[in-house]
Amino acid sequence: MSEGKQFAVLGSPVEHSLSPVIHQHFAAQFGYDITYARQLLQRDTFEPFVRKFFAAGGVGLNVTLPFKLQANECARWHDVSAHQAAAANTLAMTDQGIGAWNTDGAGLVNDLRHRHGFEPGGKKILILGAGGATQGILGPILACRPASLALANRTLTKAQNLARNAQHLHPQCHISAFSLTELNERSGDFDLVINSTSLGLHDGRIMLPAEVVRNTFCYDLSYGASARFARWARDAGASSVADGLGMLVEQAALSFAIWLGDKPQTQQVYQLLVERTQHDG
């Protein structure tokens, strides 16, 4: 490895990852010479790659689907963000060995607060989905002390399990679990609806009652062509909608600060990516 500090994003698929563009932009703000690669891996090549990367002097890794659990498992120690989520999107070599962080949830909260002017504290929040993405954002959302949090999932038991664990850690917040079909009865109850399902990746119909999002701020963790929930919510009468591009940039800024100690400006690269994804979409 010869060209500056080495970074990479690991995933499958990974060829469309925007992380290299984002981090090159951040690095330019501080005059850093970095190389940031996309690395396609398989389940059995993930951990050997991570170990080899850091042994060769690599500085930091981002991890995307489907390796966030494996990334957490291969670390020697865990920041509270990775520990709570049981999944990591950021790895770095430290004096204590490979460390794991999860900046997804804090990135979402930063985007909500600073780009969209939405304070989650004291609000009634609904999260759709109870998979890995929900697990990643749950701790930081609850740390904002919302008035209530509802988790709705196609498979009710998964929402119930997440809600039970979260309630134990955050007794002050009223946390409930629903199946998607039960949402019919909860229309108009929420200040914020977050889509944390992977339904945007598939082509199926969105099986939600429009009343749930009417006159409500809706946030889709997906972005670009996959932000199907955001487009559906706009048509269904949401008061405003946001896709996950801002969260993507904010989680990257937090990773960058973990690796290099500098907190980059995010607005310019965010605008750049908005234009780019509009052209692509």
Binding pattern to ligand ATR, positions 194-223, x when CB under 6 A? ---xxx--x-x-------------------
Nearest approach, Cβ of 202 to ligand ATR (angstroms)?
A: 5
Q: Cis check for the bond before 209: say yes or no (omega within 30 of 0).
A: no
| Residue with smaller CB distance to ligand ATR, 3 or 203 | 203
Q: How many residues bind ligand ATR (CB under 6 A)?
A: 14
Region 121-160 residues binding ligand ATR, contact defined as CB under 6 A: 129-133, 153-155, 158
Nearest approach, Cβ of 240 to ligand ATR (angstroms)?
A: 22
Q: Is 68 labeled as catalytic in the residue annotation?
A: yes
Give dist(CA 104, CA 264) in Å, integer.
16
Give dist(CA 268, CA 248) in Å, integer.
13
| Residue with smaller CB distance to ligand ATR, 248 or 260 | 248
Give the residue among 99, 103, 97, 72 at the shortest CA–CA distance from 86: 72
| Residue with smaller CB distance to ligand ATR, 27 or 252 | 252
**Is residue 31 exposed (0-12), middle (13-18) or buried (19+ Cβ within 10 Å)?**
exposed
C-beta nearest to ligand ATR: residue = 131
Nearest approach, Cβ of 157 to ligand ATR (angstroms)?
A: 9
Say if strands 60-63 and 192-195 run parallel, antiparallel, or are unpaired: unpaired
| Residue with smaller CB distance to ligand ATR, 65 or 147 | 65
- Which two three-digit tokens encode residue 74? 């291969």
Please name the residues in contact with 90: beta carbons below 8 A apart, sequence gap of 6 or more.
Answer: 60, 61, 62, 63, 82, 100, 101, 102, 103, 254, 255, 258, 259
Question: In the complex, which residues of this chain contact ligand ATR (CB under 6 A)?
Answer: 129-133, 153-155, 158, 197-199, 202, 204
Q: Which residues are catalytic?
A: 68
